[in-house]
Amino acid sequence: MNSVSPRVLSSSLFEGPYYISVAGKLLETSDSFAVMNPATGAEFARAPAATAEQLDEAVAAAKSAFKTWSVLTYDQRQKYLDDYADALEVHREELARLLTLEQGKPLKSGAQPEVDQAISWIRQIAARRIPVEILEDTDSHIVELHHTPLGVVGAITPWNFPVLLALWKVAPALLTGNTMVIKPSPFTPLTTLRFGQIAQSVFPAGVLSVVSGGNELGPQMTAHPDIAKISFTGSTETGKHVIRSAAGTVKRLTLEMGGNDAAIVLPDADWKAAIAQLFWGAIGNSGQWCVGIKRLYIHRSFHSEFVSAFVDYARQQKLGDGLDPSVTVGPVQNKMQFDKVRTFLDDIKANGQKIVLGGEVDESQSGYFIPVTVVDNPPEHSKIVQEEQFGPIVPIIVYDDVDDVIERANDSPFGLGGSVWGRDTQAAVAVANRLETGMVWVNEMHTQGVDIPFGGHKQSGVGTEGGHEGRLLFTNPKTVLIKK
Ligand code: NAD
């Protein structure tokens, strides 16, 4: 295959062609696959389809680069990461535009903030350290706890926040001395390929490679003998395949998976002030958030008023192509998800549940547009309450009793996030403490940060990303006992 200098293309990031980045080189592939614009439903670019051999080559280069990368100091690796953030910053607008084209999210409120946040996180994480701890220091010996890098990390990412979720993995993995091969979702490979391309002009060859292709590359990575860890974000079903496949080589795993987050609005809540946050908590990214509000529990005492205020707010939003600056809600990302979200609409209608907004897909549109849909008080056992819709449909569910609503919120195989809203903060925190989830927000929504662990309980995940806890998961603890 031909290879192209990473520097030659640095001024034309937005236009194709796109390359996989392997061993410091940009490579062409013999096969390619279509990347669709979800706002038009039409192909707008072709992405390279890496072969199994090219993935092997990327892993071999990462293994070789690990020898020298892992022995650099934190300060040296920080410098590389800072240079990477600088190099990305130059292209921040092109990268965001590309993200909107392939993912669908509105440019101004979705894609640009995602790209900017990813760049900012690289810089912030680069400044973190995992120091050696002295566990014992006696007359006879010293016991030190080191945290050593694992080796080659394989990152497997989804299509909802392709850039941010990839960089959540890249920055801590590289900082702690690992090398990495990323496989983006086949639905949204392009922006990640460009991040990979830019990386080749910053990092030593093999430190960070990006290899796009079909889903079959995933199992190849999870079974690969030279990959020490898989950092996976995606659905719980795929996560189970990852666990099974990784067992053969006893890989370390971090799994960020699905959720069915409940928001509980308590009887004393200042719910009028919270409408916008609750709306965007559910509908942001067209509902395609792992930690999106997927069940909105409202106390009976203000239920009707709440539903009309929520619907009024929703009516002010505009559905359309994310490149249109007036659009606030974009399409669903891909046809598979579009069809899946429609099964929820079909089920809601078939069971005579009350749709108070939306519900009808405009069949004349070729893009994957689902209007914001609000379902009023569907039964607890219904599909829209029990399953992860991952689309712009919100069930507003009535409750009477706080103990009962906590039980309903916890009655799920998922345990990712949740939120509790109430004027009496202590009482709201007491409810939050009873939710069986990895994260819970009280009177705010989706605040995140590089020192805040992010991860799920139950079938929503294993391990965390972010925070010192997440960074530690890119290392092995190593105890060194020294006789004096
Ligand atoms: P998905 O599981 O279909 O795909 C995720 C990634 O896994 C893709 O890169 C895909 O190519 C790859 N893959 C597919 N089959 C594989 C296999 N057998 N082995 C290894 N890799 C394989 O998920 P998706 O549809 O892209 O993303 C949506 C899901 O992700 C939702 O359930 C959402 O809740 C979840 N998610 C979770 C988080 C979190 O942090 N917890 C964040 C974002 C999305």
Encode pLDDT of 289-324 as tens digits. Answer: 999 999 999 999 999 999 999 999 999 999 999 999
For 462-467, what is the mean pLDDT? 96
**In the prediction, which pLDDT does 279 show?**
98
Verify whether ligand 1 is closer than 6 Å to residue 455 (CB atom). no
What single letter denotes the amino acid at residue 199?
Answer: A
Condensed to tens digits (0 to 9), the pLDDT of residues 256-276 reads: 999 999 999 999 999 999 999
Q: Check whether 12 has a pLDDT greater than 70.
A: no
* 303 and 250 within one domain: no
Does residue 253 belong to any structural domain of this protein? Answer: yes
In a 13 Å sphere around the CA of 448, the CA atoms on its Cβ side amount to 21
Q: Active-site residue among 290, 305, 360, 436?
A: 290
Q: Is 3 exposed, middle or buried (0-12, 13-18, 19+ CB in 10 A)?
A: middle
Structural domain including 63 reads 3-257+461-483
* 389 and 283 within one domain: yes
Instruction: With beta carbons less than 8 A apart as the criterion, state whether 70 and 146 touch.
Output: no
* 477 and 381 within one domain: no
| 461-462 and 252-256 strand pairing | antiparallel
Domains held by the chain: number = 2
Report the candidate in 199, 204, 237, 115 with the shortest Cα–Cα distance to residue 165: 115
**In the prediction, which pLDDT does 3 show?**
61
Q: Check whether 352 has a pLDDT greater than 70.
A: yes
Catalytic-residue membership of 387: no
Pocket test for ligand 1, best of 290, 344, 414 (most atoms within 8 A of CB): 290
For 110-133, what is the mean pLDDT? 98
**In the prediction, which pLDDT does 405 show?**
98
CATH number of the domain enclosing 146: 3.40.605.10
Does residue 280 belong to any structural domain of this protein? Answer: yes
CATH number of the domain enclosing 411: 3.40.309.10
CA of 219 to the centre of ligand 1 (A): 13
* Strand order from edge to edge, sheet including 461-462: 3-4, 25-27, 20-22, 208-210, 179-183, 152-156, 229-233, 252-256, 461-462
Condensed to tens digits (0 to 9), the pLDDT of residues 370-387 reads: 999 999 999 999 999 999
* 268 and 253 within one domain: no
* 314 and 392 within one domain: yes
Which residue puts its alpha carbon closest to atom 8 of ligand 1?
A: 185
Q: Active-site residue among 57, 102, 114, 256?
A: 256
Q: Which two tokens stand for residue 147?
A: 């945290």
> E strands within 50-188?
133-137, 141-149, 152-156, 179-183
**In the prediction, which pLDDT does 8 show?**
44
* 217 and 289 within one domain: no
* 73 and 9 within one domain: yes
Verify whether ligand 1 is closer than 6 Å to residue 332 (CB atom). no
Catalytic-residue membership of 380: no
Pocket test for ligand 1, best of 230, 233, 242, 293 (most atoms within 8 A of CB): 233
Does residue 455 belong to any structural domain of this protein? Answer: no
* 440 and 343 within one domain: yes
* 413 and 321 within one domain: yes
Pocket test for ligand 1, best of 191, 238, 244, 437 (most atoms within 8 A of CB): 238
Does residue 454 belong to any structural domain of this protein? Answer: no
Verify whether ligand 1 is closer than 6 Å to residue 261 (CB atom). no
For 198-211, what is the mean pLDDT? 98
For 231-253, what is the mean pLDDT? 98
Whole-structure pTM value: 0.97
Q: Check whether 150 has a pLDDT greater than 70.
A: yes
* Percent of the chain clearing pLDDT 70 (strictly above): 97
CA of 234 to the centre of ligand 1 (A): 2
Q: b vs e for 407-427, b when ≥16 Cβ sit within 10 Å of the residue's Cβ?
A: ebbbebebbbbbbbbbeeeee
Q: Which atom of ligand 1 is nearest to the CA of 214?
A: 11
Mean predicted lDDT score pLDDT of the chain:
96
Verify whether ligand 1 is closer than 6 Å to residue 157 (CB atom). yes
Q: Which atom of ligand 1 is nearest to the CA of 215?
A: 11
CA of 369 to the centre of ligand 1 (A): 21
* 265 and 213 within one domain: no
* 207 and 301 within one domain: no
Does residue 440 belong to any structural domain of this protein? Answer: yes
Helix axes 190-200, 74-90, angle to 10 degrees: 120
Does residue 98 belong to any structural domain of this protein? Answer: yes
* 125 and 14 within one domain: yes
**In the prediction, which pLDDT does 9 show?**
47
Residue 5 confidence class, pLDDT cut points 50, 70, 90: low
Q: Which two tokens stand for residue 253?
A: 């795993």
Q: Which two tokens stand for residue 302?
A: 């203000």
Which residue puts its alpha carbon closest to atom 42 of ligand 1?
A: 290
Does residue 456 belong to any structural domain of this protein? Answer: no
